[in-house]
A and B are shown apart, each in its own frame.
Chain A
Amino acid sequence: MARLEDQQVEELHDQLLRWGIAYDPLRDDLLDHLCCMVEYEMNQGQTFSEAVQEALVKFDIYQIQETQEITLHLLTQKQRIMKKVAAITGIIASALAIGGVLFKMMHWPGAEVMLVLGVSLLSVVVLPLMGLIEFKQSNVLRSQYTALIGYISGATLFLGTLFRIMHWPGSSVLIVSGFVVLTFIFIPLYTVKSYQNTDNKMLAIARSAIIISAIAILWGLFP
């Protein structure tokens, strides 16, 4: 049984890269598949380069690229739907919330219904969904949790503000817990992340400082 040398495997790997197979899990599969095909031909008595020629005839580039497209399309289908739902609901909910505030200021009827609907949609559907999308998009565990915590504490603050406007009980608990999570968990995680990922360290620190000052000002508003 022929078994390809490491260097020959690398040659085939480079070929797949040249063809634009960038999605790692698929490239692993295709590389092993291609190696098996070449080894099969070599077992029939061909040299490595003859075997590669033979295998590549059966393994044509268009089909491979199509394979990657189909695979990625199938895998991201759910995410695309999630993004669409988040975007559409986000726009509708924001419009309702902004409309609600405007109606309330003008003492027009229907303000409260719009506010409750808009802000509940934002905090219960849109923000958690956006957090989930970012969670799935990242491969790094810490940025996954940073995104999720950020969106969820944001959603809690939204909900708390709604409760405060509607004079419902429990608004202080929601607002304080949202602020605490945002200040003591999200901000440190976010600061470390942006500090590590940016070239301009000063800017990263300044950005976090501005967010902290904004939170401090808001904190002052909601005793």
Chain B
Amino acid sequence: MYICLMYSKEIVKGTLKPIVLKLLKEHGRMYGYEITQNVKALTEGKIQITEGALYPLLHKLQAEGVLQTESEKMGKRVRKYYKLSQSGEAVADDLISEMLDFMQTLKSVLNPDYGQA
């Protein structure tokens, strides 16, 4: 699903959702290509999201009411901007803090100084 230059699939799996929600929280509204480019830039190319992973997630989150879309016509094409809905803000906050907490926990296990976060 991802094209990962640095990390194995198993590790990156499950991080796409918090990454996308965090980006939308910071930027307000974004279109798909913009999201992939932002992730690539922020992670210095270490994580690259493919359209095959991104769009199913965006459509699912939209169906769940986490995201809303705004379409803008650009000649023959339509640019669809995704943004957090009102209830989506809370979902994003919860997931981001859960992920941060998880990373902290993981650190305490995997640290060279085993057991000290």
A residues at B contact (CB < 8 Å): 4, 6, 9-10, 13, 25-26, 28-33, 35-37, 59, 63-64, 66-67, 70-71, 74-75, 78
Contact = CB atoms under 8 A, between A and B. Distances in A.
B79 interface: yes
B102 interface: no
A66 B55 CA distance: 11
B9 interface: no
Contacts of B74: 32
Contacts of A67: 51-52, 55-56
B63 interface: yes
Interface band, chain B: 20 to 34
A29 B55 contact: yes
A59 B51 contact: yes
Contacts, number: 67
7 contacts: A13-B76, A28-B77, A29-B80, A33-B55, A70-B52, A71-B59, A74-B63
Contact of B71 (A4, A28, A31, A59): A28
Smallest CB-CB A-B distances: 6 pairs? A36-B33, A70-B56, A9-B76, A63-B52, A74-B60, A71-B56
Contacts of B79: 32
A32 B77 contact: yes
Contacts of A36: 33
A209 B26 CA distance: 60
Nearest to A9: B76
A32 B78 contact: yes
Contacts of A25: 59, 80
B44 to A, nearest CB: 18
Nearest to B57: A74
Contact of A28 (B51, B60, B75, B78): B78
Contacts of A66: 52
Nearest to A67: B52
Determine which residue in A9, A29, A66, A71 has the highest number of CB atoms from chain B within 10 A of its CB, and name it: A29
Given A28-B80, A32-B74, A33-B36, 9 more contacts: A6-B76, A29-B32, A29-B58, A30-B51, A32-B78, A32-B79, A33-B51, A71-B60, A75-B60
